[in-house]
Amino acid sequence: MSRVGKKPIAIPQGVNVDYQERHVHLKGPKGEHNFSVPQPVDLKIEDGLIQVEADYVNDTTARRMMGTVQSVLQNMVTGVAEGFTKKLQLVGVGYRASVQGKNIELLLGFSKPVNVTLPETVSAEMEGNTQIILSCHDNVLLGQVAAKIRAYRPPEPYQGKGILYENERIRRKAGKAGKK
């Protein structure tokens, strides 16, 4: 039996859960989510808890899916109740960014600025001119947007320049040793 799948998910105040015909609809103060529950797994909702259930004795697929479904639902509940944030740090001489509505303009040492348009549910704000704070109720979408922005200038190991996640450490390499 899946250890993660056995854990019940607490439904916080202000979050509505609707489960009908293998479809879960979550609605909270930060947004809405929909999820289709796969076939070998079922949900039981009572007393402010969501419990993932499956016939785990005979079905190995059900055992595998229990933990996955529980993790996905836990992220959804957390997202619609509190939301998620990711911070990106721009490191390098002349690297800076600015936010105008749903557009982020990045100056990353290219000949022209890079413009990134954010999806509707993702919001961005700046802390200084080198730190971007992204927030969204969907953890997967937020990670994809952050990875897309980071892909324009991934951190490099020689000088440590690039776009880094918060608290990310880059293993530095020694440069080329001079000829003696």
pLDDT digits (tens, 9 = 90+) for 32-84: 999 999 888 889 998 889 998 887 666 777 878 888 999 999 999 999 999 99
CB-side neighbour CA atoms (13 Å) of 64:
4
Evaluate if residue 180 carries a pLDDT over 90: no
d(CA 57, CA 152): 48
CATH class of 84-165: alpha beta
On whether the CB atoms of residues 79 and 137 are closer than 8 A, the answer is yes
Question: Looking at residue 39, what is its pLDDT?
Answer: 85
How many CB atoms are closer than 10 A to CB 54? 21
Percent of the chain whose pLDDT exceeds 70: 95
- Read off the pLDDT of each residue in 113-123 and give the average, rounded to a whole number: 95
- Read off the pLDDT of each residue in 97-118 and give the average, rounded to a whole number: 94
Q: Do 3-81 and 84-165 come out as alike in CATH topology?
A: yes
Residue of 39, 6, 36 whose CA lies nearest to 24: 36
Q: Where are the domains of the chain?
A: 3-81, 84-165
On whether the CB atoms of residues 83 and 30 are closer than 8 A, the answer is yes
Percent of the chain whose pLDDT exceeds 90: 69
Q: What is the pTM of this model?
A: 0.86
- 3-81: CATH topology: Outer Surface Protein A; domain 3 (3.90.930)
Question: Looking at residue 90, what is its pLDDT?
Answer: 95
Q: Write down the mean pLDDT value for the chain.
A: 90
Question: Looking at residue 130, what is its pLDDT?
Answer: 92
Evaluate if residue 174 carries a pLDDT over 70: yes
